[in-house]
Amino acid sequence: MQFIDEAIIEVKAGDGGNGSAAMRREEKVPRGGPSGGDGGKGGSVVVVADGQLTTLLDFKYRRHYKAPRGEDGRAKDQYGRGGDDLVLRLPVGTVITDVETGAVVADLTTAGARHVIARGGTGGLGNIHFATPWNQAPRHAEPGTPGEQRTLRLELKLLADVGLLGYPNVGKSTFISRASRARPKIADYPFTTLVPNLGVVALSDDRSFVIADIPGLIEGAAEGAGLGHQFLRHVERCRVLLHIVEDTFTTGPDRSPLADFDVINRELARYAPALADKPQIVVLNKLDAGTTHGTAEELVAAFADRGIELLTMSAATGEGIPPVLERLWAHLGRDGRTPDPS
C-alpha cells in the first residue's frame, strides 16, 4: 500500500431541516391550530482513530466529504429525522488542522479517539412553538441552520518511542531490520528508504518499544533538500532519538562523524527547535568496514571532548546492537517515559 502522510480535505456537516408551518385540517376539529413539527438536526462529520490504518491514501484522492442534512418537519406534529453522522476513520497519530485559521482541530493520539470536526446544523422550529393567546394560528416556522464547512489539513505523525536519524546509507534500515521484525528495503546506494518504517523491538523480561526509521537527512533538508524533510514530522513525537553516524571511505572527504552529527542537528533545529533538544543516543555504525578518520577509540574520544558519548556497533553483523537497545530502554524508562533529567 502506498504511504501517504499528508492530505487536504473539505468537510461539510449537514444542514438542519426546516421547521413546518402546517395547520391541522381534520374532520371534527374546527379549530385545529398549528401542527408543524421541527426540522431534524444535520449530521456531523466525526473522525475516529483506527489502529489498523497506516496511511492517508484514501484522503489523498477523495477531497470532499459531506454529511446528510436533517429532514424537514411535517404536519401533524411530526418532527423531521436527524441526519446520520459521517464517520471518517484515520490512522492513529493524525493531526487535523484548520487550513484557514491554523488551529489544531484534533490530535488522534490513541486508538478509538473520537472528535467532531464539523457540527451539523440545528433543525428549525415548527409553528407549534409559536402559538400564543393572541396569535393562535401562527403561519411561520424557522429554517434550519447550516452545518459547519471547513478545509482541513491531515498530517500523519507516526507514534514511536525512538526515532532513527542519520545521513542516507548509514545503516538505519539494516539496524531496524536487526533489532525488530521490520523489513525495509536495504541496498548499497543512498535513499533506499523512501517511506518511514516502524518496528517493535522486543527485549528480555517482556520489555518492548517502537522504533521509527525515516528516510535519510542531508544538509539543507529543512529547506526541502533530499527526502528527509518530508518525514521529519514523524520523529516529533519520539521520546528519544538514535543518531547513527558512519566513517567509511564511501562518506567522502567532506564528511566525518562529527561533521555529519552537526549537520543533522542543525537541520533539526531549523525544522523545529524542540527536535534538537530531544535526548539523543549517538552510535558509530559499520565497525566491520573500518574507519577513515582515526580508529573507533579515537572517534569515541573526539565525541567525548564535545561531551557526547559515542557508542559503536555493526548493524550488518549485529555486533554492539544489544548494548544500544539497552541504552535506549534506559532512556525511555521502565514505564515507557523518559526519566526526569533531575
- Choose among 179, 183, 249: nearest CA to 208: 179
The type of residue at 127 is: N
CA distances to 16, 94, 174, 330 from 326, in Å? 58, 30, 18, 6
User: What number of other Cβ atoms are within 10 A of residue 133's Cβ?
Assistant: 5
pLDDT at position 290: 66
Q: Which residue positions in the chain have pLDDT lower than 50?
A: 1, 184-194, 218-228, 334-342
pLDDT at position 249: 57
Domains in the chain, ordered, with CATH? Answer: 1-156 (2.70.210.12), 162-332 (3.40.50.300)
What DSSP element (H or E) covers 205? none
Place of cell 484557514: 100
Helix, strand, or coil (residue 64):
strand
pLDDT at position 26: 75
User: Can you give the C-alpha Rg of the chain in angstroms?
Assistant: 29
pLDDT at position 174: 85
* Euclidean distance between CA atoms 323 and 123, whole angstroms: 63
> Could you report the per-residue pLDDT of 47-63, keeping only the tens digit for each?
999 988 878 888 988 99
Residues 6+ apart with CB under 8 A from 311: 281, 282, 283, 284, 320, 323, 324, 327
Helix, strand, or coil (residue 6):
strand
Question: What angle do the packed helices 257-271 and 296-305 form, to 10 degrees?
Answer: 40
Which cell numbers hold the place of 36?
408543524
Which cell numbers hold the place of 267?
537541520
> Could you report the per-residue pLDDT of 192-219, keeping only the tens digit for each?
444 667 788 888 888 888 888 876 564 4
Single pTM value for the model: 0.69
* Euclidean distance between CA atoms 244 and 273, whole angstroms: 20
Tally the C-alpha atoms within 13 A of residue 261's C-alpha that lie toward its C-beta.
Answer: 23
pLDDT at position 286: 83
CB 113 within 8 A of CB 95: no
CB 171 within 8 A of CB 315: yes
